Amino acid sequence: MTSSLVALVLSGQQLALADDGWGEVVEPTEVFDTRIYGFIDSYYEKIAKTPTLDENGDTLYESNVGEFDVLNLNVMIQGSIYGRYRYYLNFASPGAGGIDDEGLGVRNAWVEAPLRGDLLKVRAGKLYRRFGLYNEILDAVPTFIGIEPPELFDKDHLMVTRTTNLMLFGAVPLGGSMLHYSVATGNDERAGSSIPIGADAYVDLGGTLRVGSSFYSSGEASPTRAVGEGSPRGGVVNWMASDQYMVYGGYTQLTLQGLVVQAEYWRADHDATRDEESVLALVDADLNDRQLERFYVGGDATNGVSPLTVQYTVQTAYLRAGYQIPIGRQASLTPYVQGDFYENPEVIESKDFGGDAEAGRSDNGQFFKYTAGTVIRPVPQVAFKIDGSAHQLMFNGESVFYPEIRFSLSYLWQLDQ
């Protein structure tokens, strides 16, 4: 990814507009400065046969139909007033090419003002929280290696909400490096008068090495969706009456010439209370034996539900590496590999009931995913990606693999000014 494309992507989320370092405007030339642009991501996925159980309890493999989709369609408007007060709008239509089209909605809408130059700023509205390497840039699909997001931001098993509402942030020089920090709160999944808090801090060493950590404390929280309404939009699963959880971990990125190496680890500790009526509704969710034993006395719903208070831990980690090979003046080829791990002992398989079809399919709530692929960029603003993955998980008492293949054609567009 070229530096100009990086600047365009991050300017909607992170980069400061010009001031004199104390929040005073440096001779603005116009009142409004506006840019309109967006991203489109056409996508195809084919999952090979996946394991299931026959009527005798033996493992068999079912075929899956390939799916076309416009996975991401974003229209973004960003700008400034007198070069000082920033604004940003992000309209998104996820799944616009398939039957799961969610329609056009507002994903981000915020305003920002400097309080002390780059040292302290405030942003309010609906905004992406700063968390790890990817949350703020996932809409900019042409710009990063890989097709799918890290597992903590997979929409079927999010560890935390992607958006929040109020953020204080800034950057402090540290010799030849910069310390970036943020503290945020918002509606999130809060219940009653609780105050969720998120924080992030990272050191950028000359643009070559980034090392950081993020933290989130939900306070008392409640589900964003009920059983039967699809996967949750945050860390609280649909069948909980209430939950309190903390997410913490760290991340690093090395950028050295054409090489990019990224790694993250996250852990979420939950202290939750299940809702009895919602747990009884899960009997129609085609649960496996482990899940039946977890929810119902003796694994049988007719015996009543198991104790409703539960403590459990969700963990995930990944390692990604890619190397950009220039081809001519603008084109490039970037082969990449990645490995993902995810574990959630509370998850089920059915997405309709609030689960996901990866960890929820396994006997122990965990899976590994191994991926290799390449990004072909004829110009920096257009990316054709192809990759293949293999899932490894425990199913019916044995380790199984099933592969999948994905294609993505994505591009950045911008209106001429």
For 34-70, write each residue's pLDDT tens digit: 999 999 999 999 999 999 888 888 899 999 999 999 9
What's the confidence (pLDDT) of residue 83?
87
* Residues 98-148 pLDDT 10s: 766 677 899 999 999 999 999 999 999 999 999 999 999 999 999 999 999
Nearest to 318 by CA among 396, 359, 266, 377: 266
- Distance (Å, rounded) from C-alpha 391 to C-alpha 399? 10
Mean pLDDT score of the chain, rounded to an integer?
A: 90
Beta-carbon count within 10 A of 30 CB: 10
User: Residue 139 belongs to what domain range?
Assistant: 3-414
Q: What is the pLDDT of residue 14?
A: 44
Tell whether the model's pLDDT for residue 158 goes beyond 60: yes
Give the whole-angstrom CA distance, residue 405 versus residue 386.
Answer: 8
- Number of domains the chain is built from: 1
What CATH number is given to the structural domain containing 19? 2.40.160.10
Question: What's the length of the chain?
Answer: 417
List the structure tokens of 353: 């009931």
- 415 pLDDT band (50/70/90 cuts)? very high
As given in the structure block, the two tokens for residue 143 are 């710009």
- Dihedral, 131, 227, 46, 371 alpha carbons, nearest 10: 30
Which residues on neighbouring strands pair with residue 385, listed in sequence order? 375, 408
SS3 per residue for the chain: CCHHHHHHHHHCCCCCCCCCCCCCCCCCCCCEEEEEEEEEEEEEEEECCEEEECCCCCEEEECCCCEEEEEEEEEEEEEEECCCEEEEEEEECCCCCCCCCCCCEEEEEEEEEECECECCEEEEEEEECCCCCCHHHCCCHHHCCCCCCCHHHCCCCCCCCCEEEEEEEEEEEECCEEEEEEEEECCCCECCCCCCEEEEEEEEECCCEEEEEEEEECCCECCCCCCCCCCCCCCCCCCEEEEEEEEEEEEEEEEECCEEEEEEEEEEEEEEEECHHHHHHHHHCCCCHHHHHHHEHHHCHHHCECCCEEEEEEEEEEEEEEECEEECCCEEEEEEEEEEEEECCCCCCCCCCCCCCCHHHCCCCEEEEEEEEEEEECCCCEEEEEEEEEEEEEECCEEEEEEEEEEEEEEEEECCC
- How far the first Cα of the chain sits from its last, in Å, is 23
Predicted confidence at residue 4, as pLDDT, reads 46
Res 283 pLDDT > 50: yes
CB neighbours of 40 closer than 8 A, spacing ≥ 6?
70, 72, 73, 74, 410, 411, 413
**pLDDT tens digit sequence for 331-379:** 999 999 999 999 999 999 999 999 999 999 999 999 999 999 999 999 9
102 phi, psi to nearest 5 deg: -90, 0
Mean pLDDT of 278-286: 93
